[in-house]
Structure 1
Amino acid sequence: MKYRPSPKVRKALVGSAAVAVLGGMNAPAAIGFAQREYHQYEINRPEYKARYGHWDLLAMPTKYRVNSIHATLLPTGKVLLIAGSGNSIKHFNGGRFDSTLWDPATKTFKKIPTPKDLFCGGHTQLPDGRLLIAGGTARYEVLQGDVKRAGGAMLVKNEDPDHSRTFPKGTLFRSPTGKEYASQLPVSVPRATKTVDSATGRVAVTANQARVYVEATQDGPAGITNTSEQYAIVGLRGRDADNFYGMANKLGMDKKDFQGIREAYEFDPFTEKYVLVRSMSEARWYPTLVGLADGKVLTVSGLDDIGQIIPGKNEIFDPETGTWSPGPLRYFPTYPSLFLMRGGKLFYSGSNAGYGPANQGRVPGIWDPKSNTFTPVTGLKDADTLETSSSVLLPPAQRQKVMVLGGGGVGESPKSTARTAIIDLTAPHPSYVSGPKLPAPTRYLNSVILPDDTVFTTGGSTGYRGRSASNLLQAQFYDPANNAFTPAAAPTVGRNYHTEALLLPDGRVAVFGSDSLFADKANTIPGTFEQRVEIYTPPYLYRTRQAQLGSGPTELVRGVSASFPVTDAAHITTARLIRPGSSTHVTDVDQRSVALDVQRGKNAVTVTVPRDSSLVPSGWYMLFVTDNHHTPSRARWIHIS
């Protein structure tokens, strides 16, 4: 509906200048009211929308609202919002784990039973459309001073070459001085390794081991142990007591970090249920999952089951067999941004989301998982502000250019940057070159690929988690063809940590979440999680009527052409396959836009899918066609097999 100022507003607009001159007591209120009303009038004008677009708040009933930590567009056109415990220790302790399914087409919502705390796990779309979610939260962090019981890592040893054993949660380990510690999770210990010397016939047994987090059974410093000790497992006798025991170096009351889980699930978009699959060998919190050219998934980084960053033990998931296997060893900080390149290598942009030392794993580069070689790249300015930065494979993917935008210093550093940089991965010696600056230094910026080959960027804050009321109510478009930003309409909701953004099948963008540390400029009032969802309608949907893309084949093979009926076919200029986004912590390595060859007929277009599986990994895509006014059609879902 077109906005028209009321007679009262028009009167206020005309009289506001006079009121200001008179300087009456009500002048500030009158001016403020007039400014707000004029702003509403301005942003609702058709001419304004056609230039800058428009924001609307989603009418989501209260019972479906969640602390959105993860957002994924599914091949049904619905959006899965995963909160898990939603960064609420109250929810975690109460076993309340949430997910909501939103259908933008029908404007309906559904609560999804969530079996585990998937808060801060990793996820990626599988070739058949299922969403793989691996890892999550086993324990919330406890700051030093709040720790009530000593705890730490216990190595559970097995010297029995004939038997493995699983010890349940709550197993007690007793020190030589009588101190007892209880395991916080079940732990399975493989059997020992037995070797026979072929020359002498002597048998050698090498103990195997597994690690588990333990806590003292009593509160306070009496539970602290600062020496290396061997621990008896309470309840074992005879040979079992000799073969199975614990070893720990230090069990103290220092800060306890978040701890990950080993469990993995698939969310089936068609049955709309979580399905448990085989667990990883490593527990992970804040991992990145990236799809490979062969359809398998590489899982990297994360905090483990005792809250330490995993030192390069990566894993590969095979969706055909549902099994995990060891991957190439390579250390990364948590939530690293990894992009599948042509040829099957991975590009690490340097963007990450937080945990890990400042001097390890921060250098961007090209990683070959097959040979496990890593080639650093140079040229990046403000290289110490890559944490909480945004990275995107620029459209179309054939150009193999990656852009990094904004970012901040490591941890709670107050440093942030307006820097952007671009790397051409097809160059003989790829190196970052500076791009146009953002309007302000920005952390937590969301970047979304649009069907018209631009990138929509929105939100973020200057300070760590929005400190000192530093949320940025601004949005802009980046045009790779012109290497420039242009302004977009400003959002009404500030976004920083724990925020996500997705392209919808109708060409709009939905933005979720935000988790400010404080709610005031003085940083004295605790912040609350932002549950409102805001939807942005880009200018291209206000300029000309959308072309109507008719039904055609839903299953395509790489290298094959297919025809689709379309209105005004003569004016169609481009066709794009856009892989649906799967976003968390402003990290989305799933989204990519692939250019298709287009042939125009009288009432149809024929498109051809590239042959390269590293350019077009198997899976579901949105097919958009765009006219000569850069207006995209609504998407058709296409499965590439």
Structure 2
Amino acid sequence: MAHRPSKKTRKTVLSIGGIAVLAGLNAPAALGFAEEQYYEYKIAQPAYKARYGSWSQLDIPKEFRTNAIHAALLHTGKVLIVAGSGNEIKKFDKGSFDTVLWDPRKNTFKKIPTPDDFFCSGHAQLPDGRLLVAGGTARYERLDGEVERAGGGMRVKNEDPDKAMVLKKGTRFRSPAGVEYVSKFEVTIPRAKRTQEITYNRAGVMQPWKTKVTASEARVFVEATEKGPLSVTDKQAQYEIVGLKGKDGANTYGISEKITLDKQDFQGIRAAYEFDPRAEKYIPVDPMAKARWYPTLVGLDDGRVLAVSGLDDVGVIDPGDNEIYDPETKQWTPGPKRYFPTYPALFLTQGGKLFYPASNAGYGPADKGREAGLWDLESNTFRKVPGLRDADATETSASLLLPPAQDQKVMILGGGGVGESRKSTPRTAVVDLKKDNPVFEDGPDLPQGTRYLNSVIMPDDSVFTTNGAKDYRGRSASNIHKAQFYDPKSNTFRAAAAPRVGRNYHSEALLLPDGRVVTFGSDPLFDDQQNTKLGHFEQRMEVFTPPALHKNGKNRPVLGDGPEELDRQHRATFATDHPERVAKARLMRPSAVTHTTDVEQRSIDLKVDKDRSSVTVQVPRDPSLVPPGWYMLFVTDADGTPSEAKWIQVP
């Protein structure tokens, strides 16, 4: 059965009985005051912080508080926080779209003019340090019972080979019976295709060239001008375009698809932009061929970006019409066809194949596109990888390419059932892609079933995992106020300090250049255990300081002057007063994360040479291991204490 999870929920009435239950639940609160005081004392102790780390909240001026739907670390060290309309239909209707740029070093904020609704778009790092942002929201969903005017797709034909047609938003289409529909978006219909055909008579003699014209086509979502069921139709018919006269009117017309009063899903946009970290603004580039809402963008080994999946311009999940963006030409071309549920996690592996661990963020049938496997883009073949326990609970899971990337191991953590299912799993699993026949093997369980877990690769090769919820969008106060570190070598978890702010759907976490982790967002359905108080978007930000920075933060390794580019031998040398303290070096790609999906982050082990006053790192030349772009260089000491990062661009 196809799944269409709702961003909204029905309001419920708080009865007198419900009030009594709430009062009963709140009664013991005072009894826990002494325990709370002791807990605050305990987590403030230096020994505790040195073992578990600590959390702090940022002081965000009111005008910069926003619904963090997407977050990306830029090579300037600043963090781009993208909301778009932020799952607020009032903002969408007003055309009020938000982006905030946060400078972690100075703790300053800046609003960025946002030209389109990037709510539920996709994004990827480009080789020159710009961030590609593509897709977003064209229209909010309408649930069953909310649809008053029939709506659906209208295929618009153009038979003129000499002229493209642009139909503005609000164009009317009229059926032979006089029923009218109005387009909700502007649409461009390309020129018809003109071809020359050669024909022969019975004697085999070539005849004069014959011209053939094939109509072009584009699709647009339309809505009936009149309310009610009389405008519903499941039959194809030809519609005239009101206002078009003469040749234009004869050559351009509509062909209706199914137009109903059924629930209408979110619809995507084709728009694409590059965010320039230096100019701090969005720059438009050619739009995608397909509209996409909830797409994944993944960087390839040649610097191009593959866009997959998403809901299209009429709210239907893309059938597999993927496309590739070239940052040199700023244009899109068709990619290999393959279907995925929305926001699939796709990781670039050595050799250039993409690995899909079955992690995704929803939308799509439960029995299609849910199996893990290796996707060869050149041959467009997909080799399934078995062994995943709780394979029906991969939606809203976390996944990542484990550090170091040379090991070619991918991990999946938690997840839940399709859509608004109450099911969640504590399962983790790891697959070694270097094996001839890779198979998932169980890892250690999470403390409990967890959806929306955020997982961040740390400079010491551990993985910091935090937050999440046991139920769909934190229902029944099911947010999990826990964090832990995963050690890939020992395949074990160890506890970390607990976050104060609960986070579930629409939350993110990423590594900062100073070695800390920042968490954003959360979009619960309800704010109470009884599911009676409608939820609100979490706009607070928390920063986690790992134990090593409490233990050795004042004596961490330091990298001095050095280049921002590699030399011809793919090396870079940095001054340091204490090269003997440098035990390891890691090149870490900055995150671009949304809906717990972060296919950008990876950590590469570097060869280190030392002399009396400097360290030299050697970067592998394999672009499928180290895709072109900007990276953070961290060095760590024998205790895993990280330096602050230096930025290096890899060609």
Aligned to 2:476: 468
2:401 aligned residue (389, 393, 397): 393
Aligned to 1:129: 129
Q: What's the TM-score, normalizing by structure 1?
A: 0.94
Aligned to 1:478: 486
The reply on whether 1:618 has 2:628 as its aligned counterpart is: yes
Aligned to 1:264: 272
The reply on whether 1:242 has 2:247 as its aligned counterpart is: no
Aligned to 1:255: 263
The reply on whether 1:548 has 2:542 as its aligned counterpart is: no
Q: CA deviation at 1:250?
A: 2.1
Maintained 8 Å contact 2:584/2:606: yes
Q: CA deviation at 1:450?
A: 0.1
Aligned to 2:5: none
Q: CA deviation at 1:192?
A: 2.4
- Identity %, equivalent residues: 62
Aligned partners of 1:619 and 1:359: how far apart in 2? 37
1:422 aligned residue (430, 444, 449): 430
Q: 1:557 to 1:496 in 2, by over 3 A?
A: farther
1:592 aligned residue (602, 607, 627): 602
Q: What's the TM-score, normalizing by structure 2?
A: 0.93
Counterpart amino acid of residue 371 in structure 1: S
For 1:121-141, what per-residue CA distance to the aligned partner results, in whole angstroms no more than 9, with x for missing partners?
A: 000110111010000000000
Aligned to 2:108: 108
Q: CA deviation at 1:28?
A: 6.2
Maintained 8 Å contact 1:130/1:266: yes
Q: CA deviation at 1:237?
A: 3.0
Maintained 8 Å contact 1:558/1:610: no
Aligned to 1:197: 197
Aligned partners of 2:598 and 2:567: how far apart in 1? 25
For 1:126-174, what per-residue CA distance to the aligned partner results, in whole angstroms no more than 9, with x for missing partners?
A: 0111010000000000001111211100001122233321211111110
For 1:474-516, what per-residue CA distance to the aligned partner results, in whole angstroms no more than 9, with x for missing partners?
A: 0000000100000000000100000000100110000000000
Q: CA deviation at 1:368?
A: 1.1
Aligned to 2:335: 327
The reply on whether 1:539 has 2:540 as its aligned counterpart is: no
SS in 1 for 2:560: coil
For 1:533-574, what per-residue CA distance to the aligned partner results, in whole angstroms no more than 9, with x for missing partners?
A: 000000010122211111101111574222212243212110
Aligned to 1:376: 384
Maintained 8 Å contact 1:559/1:610: no
Q: 1:90 to 1:598 in 2, by over 3 A?
A: same
Aligned partners of 1:249 and 1:278: how far apart in 2? 28
Aligned partners of 2:73 and 2:194: how far apart in 1? 50
Q: CA deviation at 1:190?
A: 2.0
Aligned partners of 2:522 and 2:186: how far apart in 1? 34
Q: CA deviation at 1:29?
A: 6.7
1:518 aligned residue (495, 504, 526): 526
Q: 1:433 to 1:558 in 2, by over 3 A?
A: farther
Aligned to 2:64: 64
SS in 1 for 2:124: strand
Aligned partners of 2:634 and 2:196: how far apart in 1? 64
Aligned to 2:588: 578
Q: Tell which deviates more after alignment, 28-37 or 446-455.
A: 28-37
For 1:276-329, what per-residue CA distance to the aligned partner results, in whole angstroms no more than 9, with x for missing partners?
A: 111111111000000000000001110011000111001111101111111111
Aligned to 2:448: 440
Aligned to 2:311: 303
Counterpart amino acid of residue 296 in structure 1: R
For 1:577-634, what per-residue CA distance to the aligned partner results, in whole angstroms no more than 9, with x for missing partners?
A: 0001111000000100011001222232111111111111111111000001110101
Counterpart amino acid of residue 594 in structure 2: T
Maintained 8 Å contact 1:554/1:638: yes
Maintained 8 Å contact 2:358/2:370: yes
Aligned partners of 1:460 and 1:558: how far apart in 2? 44
2:299 aligned residue (263, 287, 291): 291
Q: Which segments of 5 or more consecutive residues in structure 1 lack a partner in the other structure?
A: 1-26
Counterpart amino acid of residue 223 in structure 1: S
1:452 aligned residue (450, 460, 466): 460
Q: 1:169 to 1:52 in 2, by over 3 A?
A: same
Maintained 8 Å contact 2:233/2:258: yes
Maintained 8 Å contact 1:558/1:612: no
Aligned partners of 2:96 and 2:337: how far apart in 1? 35
Maintained 8 Å contact 2:557/2:581: no
Counterpart amino acid of residue 547 in structure 1: P
Aligned to 2:53: 53
Cα RMSD over matched residues? 1.3
For 1:348-368, what per-residue CA distance to the aligned partner results, in whole angstroms no more than 9, with x for missing partners?
A: 111000111111111111011
- Provide runs of 4+ in structure 1 moved above 6 Å: 27-30
Q: 1:637 to 1:530 in 2, by over 3 A?
A: same
Maintained 8 Å contact 1:558/1:609: no
Maintained 8 Å contact 1:547/1:567: no
SS in 1 for 2:616: strand
SS in 1 for 2:48: helix
For 1:103-132, what per-residue CA distance to the aligned partner results, in whole angstroms no more than 9, with x for missing partners?
A: 110111111111111000000110111010
Q: 1:546 to 1:97 in 2, by over 3 A?
A: same
Aligned to 2:504: 496
Counterpart amino acid of residue 590 in structure 1: E
For 1:335-385, what per-residue CA distance to the aligned partner results, in whole angstroms no more than 9, with x for missing partners?
A: 000001111111111100011111111111101111111111101010010
Maintained 8 Å contact 2:375/2:383: yes
SS in 2 for 1:511: strand
Aligned to 2:373: 365
The count of residues paired between Structure 1 and Structure 2 equals 615
Aligned partners of 1:284 and 1:638: how far apart in 2? 32
Aligned partners of 2:351 and 2:28: how far apart in 1? 62
Aligned partners of 1:28 and 1:183: how far apart in 2? 57
Q: CA deviation at 1:31?
A: 4.7
The reply on whether 1:608 has 2:618 as its aligned counterpart is: yes
Aligned to 1:508: 516
Aligned partners of 1:603 and 1:370: how far apart in 2? 46
Aligned to 2:8: none
Aligned partners of 1:203 and 1:267: how far apart in 2? 45
Q: CA deviation at 1:30?
A: 6.5
Aligned partners of 2:58 and 2:476: how far apart in 1? 27
Aligned to 2:571: 561
Greater length-normalized contact order (CA 8 Å, ≥ 6 residues apart): 2
Aligned partners of 2:255 and 2:567: how far apart in 1? 55
Aligned to 2:639: 629
Aligned to 2:81: 81
For 1:238-262, what per-residue CA distance to the aligned partner results, in whole angstroms no more than 9, with x for missing partners?
A: 4433321111132111101000001
Aligned to 1:226: 234
The reply on whether 1:44 has 2:82 as its aligned counterpart is: no
Q: CA deviation at 1:472?
A: 0.2
Q: 1:257 to 1:52 in 2, by over 3 A?
A: same
